[in-house]
Amino acid sequence: MRSLPLPLTLTARLSPVAVLACAGWALTSGPLTSSQDAAAKDTPKTQSRSSTAPSTTAAPKTFAAAPAPCTSVATKTVSSLVPGARTAGKEIPSTDPTLRRTCSWNALKGYEYRWLDVSFELTDSDDAARSSYKARTGERSGGGAVPGLGDEGYSVVNLTTEDKQQTREGVVIARVSNALVVITYNGSDFETKKAPSTDEINKGAIKAAKEAVAALKASAN
């Protein structure tokens, strides 16, 4: 602590009563009292501050876990879309089954090959699901909206050719609250090397998507 200047130190030592008296006057009726009163008036009450504080409670999620994907599509639908496939399907291993689950069906009947994937993906909020939906549909241009499919629905079909073999693939993406449903359906004919029509693939993918969305909604009840 820095030493007080000599004159003030001597004064304090010689006149302690006078110094204490002056200090008491300053605290009770002097200018310090006025400044403290003003500060108290200007300071808002704690209750007022707390009553206007924003809430930190997180919004509840509609879907907390992904439903079983292999039972999300009716067996007759699987048999129709993937002739010859085992209707039980095969669930693909996931790093976090509560957030992402996928079931796959595929079969070669004669020369006709078909493949169907159904995926459920959960996000932390509706906003996060909207952002993911927008990003995914933006990556797959050339498609269009599917009215009545979840909160938002999109479908796109593309044709690829490799070694003169055509494959046509349809992808349907639907958002329901904080969840995404993604359907992939494709097919090829190894005899003609042609692909199924756009209409066949598109309608098949949308049919599977509608059933998967219904299964997702039922899982929240």
**CATH number of the CATH domain containing 177:** 2.60.120
Instruction: Give me 51's structure tokens.
Output: 């009553």
Question: What is the pLDDT at residue 57?
Answer: 54
Are the C-beta atoms of 174 and 153 separated by less than 8 Å?
Answer: yes
Q: Does 107 share its domain with 169?
A: yes
Question: What is the pLDDT at residue 61?
Answer: 84
What is the chain's pLDDT, residue by residue, as a tens digit (221 residues)? Answer: 444 444 443 344 434 433 333 344 344 444 444 444 444 444 444 444 444 444 445 567 899 999 999 999 999 999 999 999 999 999 999 999 999 999 999 999 999 999 999 999 999 999 999 999 999 999 999 999 999 999 999 999 999 999 999 999 999 999 999 999 999 999 999 999 999 999 999 999 999 999 999 999 999 88
Q: Does 40 share its domain with 82?
A: no
Question: What is the pLDDT at residue 89?
Answer: 97
Question: What is the pLDDT at residue 58?
Answer: 59
Give the domain extent around 113.
69-219
Q: Is residue 61 part of a domain?
A: no
Instruction: Give me 2's structure tokens.
Output: 């820095």
Closest CA to 209 of 162, 147, 163, 159: 147
- Whole-prediction pTM: 0.74
Question: What is the pLDDT at residue 221?
Answer: 80
Q: Does 80 share its domain with 10?
A: no
Burial of 107 (0-12, 13-18, 19+ CB in 10 A): middle
Q: Is residue 15 part of a domain?
A: yes
Q: Does 192 share its domain with 94?
A: yes
Instruction: For 41-56, write each residue's pLDDT tens digit.
Output: 444 444 444 444 444 4
Q: Does 76 share its domain with 134?
A: yes
Q: Is residue 54 part of a domain?
A: no
Q: Does 27 share its domain with 96?
A: no
Q: Does 35 share its domain with 83?
A: no
Question: What is the pLDDT at residue 60?
Answer: 74
Question: What is the pLDDT at residue 38?
Answer: 46
Q: Does 119 share its domain with 24?
A: no
Q: Does 135 share its domain with 167?
A: yes
Q: Is residue 105 part of a domain?
A: yes
Q: Is residue 62 part of a domain?
A: no
Q: Does 214 share its domain with 127?
A: yes
Q: Does 110 share its domain with 203?
A: yes
Q: CA–CA separation, 62 vs 221, rounded Å? A: 10
Total domains in the fold of the chain:
2
Question: What is the pLDDT at residue 1?
Answer: 41
In the beta sheet, which residues pair with residue 122?
A: 179
Q: Does 123 share its domain with 171?
A: yes
